[in-house]
Amino acid sequence: MNCSYQIPAMNSCFVNLDFPPLPKAPRGSRWSSICDLHFLVAIVLLTVFMVVLLGFFAYSLTKQEKEYEVDSATEAVEQLPVQTGSTINFRKGVTAGSHEGVTSGRYEGGLQPPPQPSKKGVPDVSSTTEPSPSWSAAVYSDHKSCSEIGRSILLHGGNAVDAAISAMICLSAALPHRGGLGGGFMATIYRNFTCTTMNSRETCPSAASEAYFINRRDETVVGPKAIAVPGFLSGLYRTYERFSSKHLSWRQLLTPTIDLCVRGITVSESLSKDLLQFQSMIKNDPLMRFQFINETTRTVLAKGDRMLCPQLANFLSDLSDSENPVDYFYRGEGSTRILKAIKDEDAFLTAQDLDDFETEHQYGLQSHVEDTTLCGPHPPSLFAVVQLAVNAMQRSNSTSSNIPLLSWDQSRLVADAIFDSDITKDAAKMTTGRAAKNLLQLLKDGHIPASKVGGYSLITPQKEIFAITFPSVIYFVFY
């Protein structure tokens, strides 16, 4: 069809111009352009998808290396085995080792590497990899590996008590000269705006008497007569029964320390200094020599060395397998093993003493400093002395070290309330404002020499409604 266009002329006449028809685009070329565009878009989308997929895969691999897989609370996480072989084979593995070779990371003398933890259980947390900061999983203890174990328990669905128990078990292995299964503790637990305490301090054997020790003061510190009824295990398990999340089994809380004992624990600076100070005593004791002497150098272990604890690993393995660890330790095979170990030592401790022991649960001792509430254990804890010092420092608006030193003098009034009912009244008086005022009136410059007290502490906060502190003591290092 021809197109006609009229152009007006100067003389108002019209001239018709005929244009040739426009060429039509080939049908095939138009479809080709559309297909090319779709193909290009598909290539771009596929490339983006592959990049995202590879990035997610790389992130998953990195995450698995740094921390274990977090399962839901409904998943059965109690199936983690302590070891892959039989109990007998596990015994042979951990009892045949020595410190030699372990400091360099090699396993010799029949000591086999521990089994790899299941991905659905508590992971290997004995490495020194620096964890990423997280307020939802904060644990403070006196040994780095133990803090990491506690933090891993929190990340795996446990609560503050689960983490504290697991870290305390670890501390008994990492700092054995300051506390452990032979000692005791007093725990303060803050949960749902309520403060409670667990008194699991050691008790005096029934056969011991004040008259015996009048002229034998040293025997209250050193030797078989100084062995008390241990409360450590009872306190941990009773706390687990009452406050645990139940997302993790008792076995899972002990397994990381069992593995750590077999792999070897890094000796801390604190332990190395105390080992050096008491090396003469250590070399003269067969059991201590086995654990604390480097067979290669014939000297006590130094900072950074690897320390094995196969006997503790064996005992913890039995406790983790027991249906009732308290019965096992205080009335069963554990009790038999303890008494057998001291049979020839002329100790006061008896089977009846172990059978009679029980942890005490009670509400905490509280006082108020302005808008802050202080809470802690009753006597024989010295928390009342701490409250007195804090009250006095607040009233005087001073942080002078003389205040806690003078407060410490009041510790002579603190003892076990079982033997004297006035002890509880005296502790309550220490928490009042009048006691703080009287203390400030007596304040003078001075110095109270610090005794060589042993122990370790652990703090595990969980958000704003759950926290626990675990000060554990044996009172004198290596005794």
Q: Note the pLDDT tens digit of each residue in 322-346.
A: 999 999 999 999 999 999 988 888 8
Is residue 53 scored above 80 in pLDDT?
no
Helix 310-321 / helix 333-341 crossing angle, nearest 10 deg: 150
Q: Using the Cα atoms of residue 61, residue 65, residue 70 and residue 75 in order, give the sign of their dihedral.
A: positive
The pair of structure tokens assigned to 123 is 């992971």
Least confident of 4-13, 265-274, 307-316: 4-13
Beta strands in 133-283 (DSSP E): 140-141, 184-191, 194-200, 265-266
For residue 234, give the nearest of 357, 332, 381 by alpha carbon: 357
- Judge if pTM exceeds 0.75: no
pLDDT of residue 330: 98
Instruction: Determine how β-strand 184-191 pairs with β-strand 455-456.
Output: unpaired
Helix (H, G, I), strand (E, B) or coil at 326: helix
Q: Which residues are annotated as a binding site?
A: 201
pLDDT at 160: 92
Burial class from Cβ neighbours inside 10 Å (0-12, 13-18, 19+) for residue 49 reads exposed
Q: What pLDDT, on the 0 to 100 scale, is given for residue 70?
A: 31
Q: Which of 105-114, 169-178, 319-328, 449-458 has the lowest mean pLDDT?
A: 105-114
Mean pLDDT of the chain: 75
Tell me which of 389 and 91 has the higher pLDDT: 389
| Binding annotation for L-glutamate | 201
Task: Look up residue 237 and give its DSSP letter.
Answer: H
More confident position, 476 or 113: 476
Q: How far is CA 414 from the centre of its chain?
A: 29
Q: Which CATH architecture has domain 363-441?
A: Orthogonal Bundle (1.10)
Query: How many other β-carbons are positioned within 10 Å of the β-carbon of residue 270?
Result: 17
End-to-end Cα distance, the chain: 115
* pLDDT digits 0-9 by tens, 257-297: 999 999 999 999 999 999 999 999 899 888 889 999 998 88
Amino acid letter, 53 = L
pLDDT digits (tens, 9 = 90+) for 159-174: 999 999 999 999 999 9
Q: Are 330 and 357 in contact (CB under 8 A)?
A: yes
pLDDT at 201 (0 to 100):
92
- Give the model confidence (pLDDT) of 14-28 as tens digits: 445 454 554 554 555
Locate all alpha helices (DSSP H) within 300-421, ordered by sequence.
Answer: 310-321, 325-330, 333-341, 351-356, 383-396, 402-408
3-state secondary structure 13-49: CEEEEEECCCCCCCHHHHHHHHHHHHHHHHHHHHHHH
Residue 450 has pLDDT above 90, yes or no: no
pLDDT above 80 for 9:
no
pLDDT in tens, 148-205: 999 999 999 999 999 999 999 999 999 998 889 999 999 999 888 889 999 999 999 9
Residue 10 or residue 344, greater confidence:
344
Handedness of CA 334, 160, 142, 389 (dihedral sign): negative
Task: Report the C-alpha gap between 241 and 454 in whole angstroms.
Answer: 28
Over residues 94-112, mean pLDDT: 30
Is the pLDDT at 447 greater than 50, yes or no?
no
pLDDT in the model for residue 29: 52
The candidate with the shortest Cα–Cα distance to 166, out of 284, 226, 253, is 253
> What is the C-alpha separation between 118 and 437, in angstroms, rounded?
58
Q: Tell me the backbone φ, ψ of residue 149, rounded to 5 degrees.
A: -65, -45
**C-beta separation of 308 from 102 below 8 A:** yes
Look at residue 207 in the predicted model and tell me its pLDDT: 93
Q: CA distances (Å), 395 to each of 21, 369, 371, 374, 384, in order?
A: 105, 9, 14, 15, 17
Predicted pLDDT of residue 7: 42
Q: What percent of the chain has pLDDT over 70?
A: 68
Domain boundaries, the chain: 87-362+454-473, 363-441
Find out whether 185 and 473 touch, Cβ atoms under 8 Å: yes
Confidence check: pLDDT of 373 > 90? no
Confidence of residue 128 (pLDDT cuts 50, 70, 90): very low
CB 114 within 8 A of CB 310: no
Percent of the chain with pLDDT over 90: 36
Three-class HEC string of 147-188: HHHHHHHHHCCCCHHHHHHHHHHHHHHHCCCCCCCCCEEEEE
Structure tokens at 385: 């002395």
- Backbone CA torsion sign across 166, 128, 454, 407: negative
Instruction: Quote the CA–CA distance of 479 and 464 in Å, as a whole number.
Output: 38
- Running DSSP on this structure, what letter comes out for residue 203? B
